[in-house]
Amino acid sequence: MKSDIMTDQTSKLIHDGSEYELPVVRGSENETALDISKLRAKTGLITYDPGYANTGSCKSAITFINGEEGILHYRGYPIEQLAERSTFLETSWLLIHGELPTREELDGFTETITRHTMLHENFRGFFGALPKNAHPMPVTAATVGALSTFYQEAETEESIRQTIVRLLAKFPTIAAWAYKHSIGQPFIYPNNNLDYPSNFLNMMFSTPCEDYEVDPVVARALDMLLILHADHEQNCSTSTVRMVGSSQANLYASISAGISALWGRLHGGANQKVIEMLDAIAERGESAEDFVARAKDRDNPARLMGFGHRVYKNYDPRAKVLKQACTDVVEALGSSSQQLEIAMKLEEIALNDEFFIERRLFPNVDFYSGVIYKAIGIPVNMFTVMFAMGRMSGWIAQWLEMRRDPNFRIGRPRQVYTGPTRRDYVPVDQR
């Protein structure tokens, strides 16, 4: 079957004196790739690409990134417009369904999500079985996996639709309960009168003794953070969700695996490192200039955390939005933030420094997100959980896209074997 990305172009590969034609495929933003799917059959060769940094594992119509120019689109819509004007639930619909919802669709979706936020009461026992200092991230991964034991129906279009609703609706409850468990406070049940971000904040910060009053500025900032984290194409956790789902594992199991992948400090943990860096600078009373000088020194392990990105060689568009939001939140809360002041000073120095200019190192999404989370009271060990809450809609959209692709195959990379060649077994006493 001719795919929609095939072109008439080919590229030539010369190997062992023979020539092979490799088809060229092209996406809607003119990204081109060599189709090597028949390479092994034709030539006996496989490709070697550690970390898949140069491998297009799928075609996808969800998210477009141009790291050179600092562009990020969800389904064609610039992230800046969505962050400013959309809501997380509307953006989730967009990612999952491909188009912005009509008023009727959005109202219906919001209503359904609002009515599925409760967890089965047995989850109280599930949380209770975990150590009291359990990190919230593995707790959420385990809970999402365990949801599949409560909903074991056969996979149909309707059951997948319900699973999507349950995941989006219950994740804030799971996240808040994981936090409450970690600090030994009673769980707070969802409140259907509150919107998505406010409901989460209420479950996080209310106690049976004291109601938490949700500040609309804080709720809006949180909603925007969720939008900014909702998808980022084929990164480590998303590829994990696709890989697990490619074996036809269900959505709960696939997303539980994605949460585990996100937990790693190379992926979801960078904003925590930014806060630790800012706190350490403040504690030492070090000047921003001195810290930047240390970060540039190749003999010093210090790095300017939250700067640089594998994909963005320009200002990460999410960081731009967040910088403004940071200032707004701190101002609205009427508090000052030493962390924000240091961050802004570091940014100013680094953006004018030859070292960072030459290497095209700009602030990434993590540079300011931690500062906002701290300002609104989210503890550091919940930062990655917040990331997972936003990424939920992207993971769902990517899983669905994979499963609906008529050319979908189980993920099965190959390897270049480097171990011993054939040798005979020697019994233990003769070794």
- Point out which residues bind ligand CMC (CB under 6 A): 267, 270, 295, 303-310, 359, 361, 364-366
C-alpha to C-alpha distance for 202 and 385, rounded to whole angstroms: 16
C-alpha to C-alpha distance for 288 and 348, rounded to whole angstroms: 10
Under a CB-based contact definition with an 8 Å cutoff, are residues 241 and 398 in contact? yes
- We find the least distance from the C-beta atom of residue 304 to ligand CMC, in angstroms, to be 4
Task: Please enumerate in sequence order all residues whose Cβ is within 8 A of that of 341, keeping only pairs 6 or more positions apart, or say none.
Answer: none
- We find the least distance from the C-beta atom of residue 160 to ligand CMC, in angstroms, to be 27
Buried b (16+ CB within 10 A) or exposed e, 356-379: beeeebbbbbbbbbbbbbbbbebe
Q: Which is nearer to ligand CMC, 100 or 293 (CB)?
A: 293
C-alpha to C-alpha distance for 202 and 376, rounded to whole angstroms: 12
Annotated active-site residue in 97, 366, 424, 429: 366
Phi-psi region of 424 (alpha: psi -120 to 50; beta: other; left: phi over 0): beta
C-alpha to C-alpha distance for 329 and 126, rounded to whole angstroms: 36
Q: Which is nearer to ligand CMC, 183 or 357 (CB)?
A: 357
Q: Which is nearer to ligand CMC, 105 or 279 (CB)?
A: 279
Q: Which is nearer to ligand CMC, 121 or 358 (CB)?
A: 358
Q: Which is nearer to ligand CMC, 173 or 398 (CB)?
A: 398
Q: Which is nearer to ligand CMC, 119 or 270 (CB)?
A: 270
Residue 65 main-chain phi, psi, to 5 deg: -125, 135
C-alpha to C-alpha distance for 294 and 355, rounded to whole angstroms: 12
366 labelled catalytic: yes
- We find the least distance from the C-beta atom of residue 112 to ligand CMC, in angstroms, to be 30
C-alpha to C-alpha distance for 175 and 258, rounded to whole angstroms: 15
Under a CB-based contact definition with an 8 Å cutoff, are residues 393 and 96 in contact? yes
C-alpha to C-alpha distance for 205 and 207, rounded to whole angstroms: 7
Under a CB-based contact definition with an 8 Å cutoff, are residues 24 and 7 in contact? yes
- We find the least distance from the C-beta atom of residue 217 to ligand CMC, in angstroms, to be 25
Using only C-alpha atoms, what is the Rg of the chain?
24
- We find the least distance from the C-beta atom of residue 320 to ligand CMC, in angstroms, to be 14
Decide: residue 269, CB within 10 A, 0-12 exposed, 13-18 middle, 19+ buried.
Answer: middle
Tell me which residue has tokens 């689109």.
73
Q: Which is nearer to ligand CMC, 220 or 318 (CB)?
A: 318
CA-angle at 293, arms to 300 and 340, nearest 5°? 110
- We find the least distance from the C-beta atom of residue 287 to ligand CMC, in angstroms, to be 17
Under a CB-based contact definition with an 8 Å cutoff, are residues 289 and 349 in contact? yes
In sequence order, what DSSP letters do the residues of 155-196 get, joined into one string? --HHHHHHHHHHHHHHHHHHHHHHHHHHHTPPP----TTS-H
Nearest position to ligand CMC, beta carbon:
308
- We find the least distance from the C-beta atom of residue 332 to ligand CMC, in angstroms, to be 27
- We find the least distance from the C-beta atom of residue 295 to ligand CMC, in angstroms, to be 5
Q: Which is nearer to ligand CMC, 155 or 290 (CB)?
A: 290
Strand bridging mode 71-74 / 63-66: antiparallel
Annotated active-site residue in 309, 405, 424, 429: 309
Helix (H) or strand (E) holding 323: helix 317-332
Catalytic residue numbers, as ranges: 309, 366
